[in-house]
Each structure stands twice: as structure tokens, then as C-alpha cells.
Structure 1
Amino acid sequence: MATHRLSFLPISISTSQSLPSKRHDFRLSLPLSSLYGNKLLLKISDLSLFVTKHHSSTTATVSFSLPTAKPERAPSEKSPKWSARSIKSFAMAELEARKLKYPNTGTEALLMGILVEGTSQAAKFLRANGITLFKVREETVNLLGKSDMYFFSPEHPPLTEQAQRALDWAVDEKLKSGESGEITTTYLLLGIWSEKESAGYMILATLGFNDEKAKDLRKYINEDIVLNYK
């Protein structure tokens, strides 16, 4: 029986890279072992795949800091670094804002981010005091409402002014302490609490957090540093 050959046109696929866009061309050539009516049988062992690929290096940038409105507060080499848990909490905060379809990352989102990350001393302290992610989400919707179902948040919802001040408070407190080490999520949580008019503060207060508990939390302000290096 004669062997028929089916050739497909090249398929071009665009890829998103930091360098100018490249295109990858894939050309498939498939032998047909036989044809029976409308049934097409392919002999997979004869499948040949030809790939023409443009090689290029893609650079990935990973941020090890959080946005600051006052970069002049200290030389970059002396500026304290955020802990890995703090950075992850911030990333989770942006994600929570997007889930709720909010246009900005506010103090309420920062609070949720701490709880989503979940392994920091701040998150453990909140849960021990009955402040859970579910409760914070519920109070957030009660306080701020639901976003329009047809609205889509940006990939990185920008910080509200209050959320930015909470981050800056954490950095300033670390600098004032004169202690070495990283800025933990406890600093971040206390930064949220410092913004008295913010949604995050109101939600914490509604769920039973107060100045006395904030004082207790300060005892663990550097504990994430110890945990990070275990």
C-alpha cells in the first residue's frame, strides 16, 4: 500500500520575553499508515518534529525589597532588607486584592497577605487571637464592598497611600531600633496598626486586636529572623 504523507504549515508562537519578541516555528510532517473511510490512523513511531528555534537569553528580575516612598531615608547599602516572609506576604497581598477585584493594594490586603503566607510569627499571633483569613476577608467585603464583576484588577494593584505609609513605618521603626537583621512581618503588621484610619486597622479592631495586643506582639518583632536562618 502506498504511504501518504500529510504536511502541516509552520505554526508560529509568540513568547513574552524581556528582549525583543522572538517567534518559534514548528513544522510537523506526519506519515499516514492507512486511510479507512473517515478514520485516520497515524503511525506515531514515524512522527517527525522539526523545530526551528531562535536562541536568546531571558533575564528574570526578582525583587528582594518592597516599595518605598522615601528612598532617601538611608543609603541603599545600609537600608534594612525585608525578610523572605515579608516579601511573600506582600506578593500574597497583591493577589488577594486581585481576587477581590480591587483597584489597589490596601492595608486590608496587606493583612490578608500576612495570613495567606501563614508561617510568620505575626500570622501565628493573629490566628492565636482568633483573627483568621476567612474573618478578615469577610470584614473586608463588609467594609469596602464588592467590586464590579466586570472590573479586572491590574497585575500589580498599586498601593494605597495608607498601605505605603504602613510599609514606610515598618522601615523607619527598624532603622530607629538600631538593630541589624531583616524587617519581619511583625513590623509590617504593626505598620498596618499604625494607620488608624485605614481599613486594615478597622478590621483588626473589629476582630479584637488592640493596643495591648500590639504591645504583646512587639515581643516577637525580630523572631522571623531567627526562624529564617534555621
Structure 2
Amino acid sequence: MSELEARKFRYPTTGTESLLMGILIEVCTRLTLIWSAGTGLVAKFLLANGITLFKLREECVKLLGQGERSFVSPMTPPLTEDAQRALDWAVDQKLKSGDGGEITTIDLLLSIWSEAESPGHKILAALGFNDDKAKELTSLSSEPGFVDG
């Protein structure tokens, strides 16, 4: 989903802002499909904090602008350095936790937040996400019986 968002914006790379849009598309899709059965923690958390895909896209254009109209991105826009670091951070954190589970949308969201100079971090901050919210999300995800999905 992140790569598709990068291509829609005609960005030559997939950055943390694209990863963030991919997360929101994923959680919004889950929210639509399984609202009555409950939904993932990230979807509820982001929506409760007023962070929507529409607002994210607006902030993305404010920060990075729209890509060149004539630019056609490759099928798979390569990751930026900060996006690669964010993904590596998520993997490292999962390995350190020792739970052996899959990397979740929470892991990805927190990894984007960990890249303080990245566009994704700046966009989250502009939308009201901060260290306290990151701690709250971490705390919620560490509760017994937590399932991100």
C-alpha cells in the first residue's frame, strides 16, 4: 500500500510518509471490513486522536509537495534511507521483544515515530502525535491479550 501511495503522489521513492499512508489505508480497510467485530488498536487509536488518511495526505502535500506531473515512478519506488531505518527499527524491536510474532502496524507506526527527522515523523507531529501518545500506544499494546488486528 505504501508503494502505491508513493506512486499516486508521483514520488520517486517510498519514504516514511508513504509507509504512514500505507498503515492508515490498512487500518481503515480493516475498520471498514470488521467494524462490528471490533478492530485493531491502531485504527481506534489513530481515529480517536483525529488522525485520518485525508488529513495525512493533506500534511504530506504541505510538507513535500505534489510530485512532478510528468514523472512516472517505477513499479516499486525504492525506500528512502529513513524508511529503511524505520523498517529495520521495527524488526529489531520485534526481535528484542522475544515474542516471535509478526511485525504489527503498531510496530511500524512507532518505527516511523522513531525517525525524528523523517517526513513521516513530522507529519505525525503536525497531526498531534507526540511522545506521550507513542508511550500510550506502547502501553496499550503491551497489555495481556493484546491483538493488533
TM-score bin, normalised by smaller chain: 0.7 to 0.9
Match of 1:223 in 2: 147
What one-letter code is carried by the residue in structure 2 that aligns with 1:188? L
Taking the aligned partners of 2:22 and 2:99, their CA distance within structure 1 comes to 25
Matches within 5 A, 1:1-230: 92-118=1-27, 119=30, 120-218=40-138, 219-220=140-141, 223-224=147-148, 227=149
Measured after TM superposition, the shift of residue 124 of structure 1 is 2.7
- Higher strand proportion: 1
Taking the aligned partners of 2:109 and 2:3, their CA distance within structure 1 comes to 16
Percent identity reads: 67
Taking the aligned partners of 1:121 and 1:95, their CA distance within structure 2 comes to 24
Q: 2:90 is paired with a residue of what secondary structure?
A: helix
Taking the aligned partners of 1:189 and 1:158, their CA distance within structure 2 comes to 19
Unaligned runs of 5+ in 1: 1-91
> TM-score, with normalisation over the residues of structure 2?
0.86
Give a deviation string over 1:63-83, Cα, whole Å, max 9, x none.
xxxxxxxxxxxxxxxxxxxxx
Give a deviation string over 1:137-158, Cα, whole Å, max 9, x none.
0000000011111111111111
Measured after TM superposition, the shift of residue 183 of structure 1 is 1.2
Match of 2:36 in 1: none
Contact residue 103 and residue 157 of structure 1 kept, 8 A? yes
Contact residue 121 and residue 185 of structure 1 kept, 8 A? no
Measured after TM superposition, the shift of residue 125 of structure 1 is 1.4
Number of corresponding residues: 134
Unaligned runs of 5+ in 2: 31-39
What one-letter code is carried by the residue in structure 2 that aligns with 1:220? S
What one-letter code is carried by the residue in structure 2 that aligns with 1:124? K
Q: 1:180 is paired with a residue of what secondary structure?
A: coil
Q: 2:110 is paired with a residue of what secondary structure?
A: helix
Give a deviation string over 1:75-109, Cα, whole Å, max 9, x none.
xxxxxxxxxxxxxxxxx111000000000000000
Taking the aligned partners of 1:124 and 1:166, their CA distance within structure 2 comes to 22
Taking the aligned partners of 2:19 and 2:45, their CA distance within structure 1 comes to 15
Give a deviation string over 1:196-222, Cα, whole Å, max 9, x none.
000000000011000010011112265
Comparing 120-129 and 109-118, the one that deviates more: 120-129
